[in-house]
Amino acid sequence: MSGARPFPRKTVAAVIVVGVIGLCAARRASFRNEGFAESPKPCGGPGGHGGPGGRGGPGFGSGGRMGFHTLRLESSQQVNDNTKRLRFQLPDPASNAGLCLASFILTFHKPQDAWFPVIRPYTPINNFDEPGYIELLVKKYPNGRASGYLHSLQPGDTLKIRGPMPGYRWKTNEFEHVNLIAGGAGITPMYQLIQGMLNNPEDKSKIKLIFGVNTDKDLIMKKELDALEQKFSDRLKIVYTVSDPVKGSPFIKGRITKELLEKELLGPKDSKATKIFLCGPPAMEVSIFGSKGWTSSKKGVLEELGYAADRIHKL
């Protein structure tokens, strides 16, 4: 099959408009539709923060400047029944992607019957210091336009992206205790943070990951996470919880609850040295973080536990 095709001239203006909208809506789109993660300043480049230790470096062979790029799919690996690991080659095999912690890319493709391109944010999961490629973990959703398209790609096909796009402005050792609460596909930005922090010899933060999924098979990245926990046992602790576990499952049964968080979260809740990052499906985020609307608002369990809003960041 052919790869993603260049946009026709008549849609260039539409691409620009929709691209701006996509930047503003990137985080919301990530779970409401099918993206995996999450404003817009370039990462990487001279003086940038591309790499686990905050080291800059050339990105996409263009000094790390944010822009549009076409990447070729090198390999596609089936992780479980609905998730693939896709490895894309960078234009310059000697360059890295100019990524920084909490950064993401936007993917673009234009269906034949659509006026506008489909834009979704995805979090690369590869080691930033390894040049020549980026890896995406893509869960295919029912009727998902972006995820369905990405799952259809075969080695040799191409994908249009824009990036790198940073989200949270990460600072090494800003927090003594870092709590990561992930639900399902929300593990990808958490994994990016974990490996970046642990592979940075200057970072001394303690990390607790609480990862909740529906079934055992949804524990994607578990092998990689367990390896990091074993290697960095003094800095990383992981708690897995499964809503509908198989018989004999070794994991905690149930969702991420107030009781579980009260028991597992690291650090004093009233300290600026404690930070919580949250990423998961909208219902989970509302339950844990709460919501505020024009007509009603809901208090989240973290607020009930005494955590101020500035101690929490939704990736």
∠ CA 278-279-282, rounded to 5°: 110
Q: How far apart are CA 147 and CA 191, in angstroms?
A: 20
| Residue 188 marked as a ligand binder | yes
The amino acid that residue 256 corresponds to is I
Contact 110, 12 (CB under 8 A): no
Q: Is 127 exposed, middle or buried (0-12, 13-18, 19+ CB in 10 A)?
A: middle
Task: Confirm whether residue 245 is marked as ligand binding.
Answer: no
Q: Does 121 show up as a binding residue in the annotation?
A: yes
191: annotated binding-site residue?
no
Structure-block tokens of residue 60: 């996409």
Do the annotations mark residue 153 as ligand-binding? no
Q: Is 162 within any annotated ligand binding site? A: no
What is the C-alpha to C-alpha distance for residues 201 and 118, in angstroms, rounded to an integer?
A: 39
Please give the single-letter amino acid code of residue 292.
K
268 annotated to a ligand binding site: no
Beta strands in 198-273 (DSSP E): 206-213, 236-242, 252-253
167: its two tokens: 């989200």
Residues of the binding site: 120-122, 137, 139, 147, 188
Residues of the binding site for FAD: 120-122, 137, 139, 147, 188
